[in-house]
Chain A
Amino acid sequence: MPEARPVVFVIDDDASLRRALERLLRTEGYAVEGFASAQAYLARAPYDGPGCLLLDLAMPGIDGLELQQRLTRDAASLPIVFLSGHANVPESVNAMKMGAVDFLTKPADDADLLAAVRAALLQRDTQLAARERLATLSAREREVMHLVVEGLRNKEIAARLGITEKTVKVHRARAMEKTGATSLPELVRLAAEDSPPSPPDRAQP
């Protein structure tokens, strides 16, 4: 299957800067979509393919950080590169904690900007690949994987799901095999790309 061209979503209220960023990104062969506000971006049909966000921090209405908060509630969100008018340490720390790929200060050099975008796209690729692999898991395998990631022992998982410890081991091995994870940390990282299933008995711990 031919790889779809990655899309960079540029969200900045300054029309001129937005146009300039779009041009710069197009020279790298990316597809670019520009939005004048966070609201305009949110109004767009959900995007599932390779891509990332280039997001201005200070905007009227919903600002960059707020948009990031809204988007990262959904595990499938696109990686975000922030572009800020003035470097504000608490804001940038906050953004990075929330999983931003990079936090650039305007005016940003093209090399830095494109490197950040490349990193974000790479992260997206990993994300998509992981998701693809996760999609091959059966419901039970997924359930077991998430409990493993939570740190539960096989015996505890068996008790929780009402199955034998042996069955748990089988599901666990198959999940590792299907996702290609060779270690527990790798599985943890992969599982982060998936929202855990919430069976009714998980409501009360």
Chain B
Amino acid sequence: MRILHQYLSEFGQAFLLLVRSLRHLPSLPRQMGRVIEQCYLIGYTTFPIVAILSFFIGSVLALQTGYSLQTFGAVDFIGTIVGLSMARELGPVMAAILLAGRVGSAISAELASMKVYQEVDALITMNIPPERMLVLPRLIAVLLMMPVLAIVAIIIGWLGGAVVASQVSFIGLDPRIYFDGITNFVAFKDVLDGLIKAQIFGFSVILISCHVGLQTRGGPREIGNSVTRAVVLSLIAILFLDYFITQALL
């Protein structure tokens, strides 16, 4: 019960940080340099790992479904299953999990370090709100980059599935049939739902990472603890939100 209370308290404080950050929205045009810098960090540096892992997730999905469906002679449906799974679930979830591991951890470490070494205090004494300079640009950047990462995850996952479905001997599915399964059964709404999910997950990951980083107190050892806490809280938030958003979008 205490742990639940603790998690709820963390999410509540993260929400308050969001409210405080949104107050600085009018200053956004002046923050564009920082937004672009964060777009680079969030998008460009996460792109390779999202691409590689999505390829293998699509591949494994095709392999597993192919193995199961061959018994029923239904391997023609692999494209539909991989297509829907990647678009509606695995693409956005994997992109968000990788974002938490790659970018969320880096953000919480950077902000925790700034807190521990009094850089955040220095900003406050200079009347520069940390929410304006450190949080808002990151939140805007993730809103811009997350759909791109999710689309990359979905498309490369589909391609990974196609390679396995066509090249593994016991499946041997014609790629045209595989992609027909995707184009005939994966609707625009499925991809859109996936992008909405990705957007909410990504936003939550960055908000939580900023919150945890800025809450850090104590010495350098706390920086490591903050990184762990940020990633754990982000993963909890992703999986928790996943259920409710999925239900809402069905």
Real binding pair: no
Q: Which residues of B contact A (CB under 8 A)?
A: none
Q: Which residues of A contact B (CB under 8 A)?
A: none
